[in-house]
């Protein structure tokens, strides 16, 4: 199976972003049509509330249009660049909306969500090996932070672990991941 079949080709997105940088609003519309269902799904995953995710999506595309000139085409990864803008925007909005999780329902909801297209995003080389070397707890903390946008406090509450442990798992996990990825790159 072509694992990228459901995603727009990177090269096309990169070209569209370059046109946006040249203030081509027709290209911006095409870019929006191609990518907004992906970014909206991602924002919903973090923000949960539809109305807030809609507001965030608007803000995300305003930022994309304004920052299109900062996208460096030679680095590729156009969709990843856009998803990153969406993630940061969601984190900013969470603070404003003072979103907090109520009880453990939210975790159950997270577990229930099935991922439809495994591996659709390209991972760095050896990523799965390196993440697999981390403890279950660490992996869970990193995922809750990155995928769900949860704060240290929220992760501690959701996983019923002490805040100090959560912070140190995350901190050490990040260092281990970095070391492992750079070691694998050198030996590859």
Partner 1 sequence: MKSSNRELVDRLAAEYVLGTLRGRARRRFERWLVSPQVRGIVNDWELRLSGLEPSLQKVAPPTKVWQGIENRLDLAGSRRSTRRWLAVAASVLAVAMVGLFMLRTPPLAATARATIEADPQTIYWNVELLGDSKNPAQELTVQARSPHPLESGKAHELWILPAQGNPVSLGLLPASGRQHLVLTAAQRQALAGAKQLAVSLEPAGGSPTGLPTGPVIHVAPLTTA
Give me the residues that bind partner 1 (CB under 8 A), please: 6, 23, 25, 28-29, 32, 36-38, 40-42, 44-45, 54-55, 57-58, 61-62, 65-66, 75, 77, 80, 83-84, 87, 91-92, 95-96, 98, 113, 115-124, 127-128, 131, 142-143, 145-147, 149-152, 170-171, 174, 177-178, 181
- Could you tell me if 99 and 48 are in contact, meaning their C-beta atoms sit under 8 angstroms apart? yes
Task: Find the shortest distance in angstroms from Cβ 101 to partner 1.
Answer: 15
Nearest one of 80, 77, 11 to 39, comparing CA atoms:
80
Q: Which is nearer to partner 1, 14 or 131 (CB)?
A: 131
Region at 142 (left for phi over 0; alpha for psi -120 to 50; beta for the rest)? alpha
Q: Which is nearer to partner 1, 11 or 41 (CB)?
A: 41
Q: Which is nearer to partner 1, 50 or 104 (CB)?
A: 50
Task: Find the shortest distance in angstroms from Cβ 19 to partner 1.
Answer: 13
- Written as six digits, the tokens of 99 are 């979103």
- Separation in Å, CA 83 to CA 35, 89, 107, 171: 9, 10, 23, 23
Task: Find the shortest distance in angstroms from Cβ 103 to partner 1.
Answer: 20
Q: Which is nearer to partner 1, 66 or 104 (CB)?
A: 66
In degrees, rounded to 5, the angle at the alpha carbon of residue 177 between the alpha carbons of residues 2 and 118 is 20
Q: Which is nearer to partner 1, 25 or 186 (CB)?
A: 25
Task: Find the shortest distance in angstroms from Cβ 23 to partner 1.
Answer: 7
| Residue entry with tokens 């805040």 | 163
| Residue entry with tokens 């707890």 | 137
Task: Find the shortest distance in angstroms from Cβ 14 to partner 1.
Answer: 16
CA atoms 67, 69, 70, 73: torsion sign: positive
């Amino acid at each position: 199976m072509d694992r990228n079949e459901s995603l727009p080709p990177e090269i096309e997105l990169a070209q569209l972003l370059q046109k946006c940088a040249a203030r081509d609003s027709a290209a911006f519309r095409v870019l929006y049509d191609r990518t907004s269902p992906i970014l909206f799904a991602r924002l919903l995953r973090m923000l949960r509330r539809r109305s807030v995710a809609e507001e965030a999506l608007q803000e995300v595309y305003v930022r994309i249009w304004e920052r299109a000139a900062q996208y460096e085409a030679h680095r590729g990864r156009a969709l990843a660049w856009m998803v990153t803008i969406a993630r940061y925007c969601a984190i900013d909005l969470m603070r404003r909306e003072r979103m907090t999780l109520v009880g453990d329902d939210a975790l159950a909801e997270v577990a229930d969500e099935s991922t439809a297209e495994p591996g659709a995003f390209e991972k760095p080389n050896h990523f799965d090996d390196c993440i697999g070397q981390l403890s279950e707890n660490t992996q869970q903390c990193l995922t809750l932070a990155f995928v769900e946008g949860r704060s240290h406090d929220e992760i501690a509450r959701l996983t019923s672990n002490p805040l100090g442990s959560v912070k140190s798992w995350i901190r050490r996990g990040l260092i281990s991941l970095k070391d492992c990825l750079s070691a694998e790159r050198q030996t590859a």
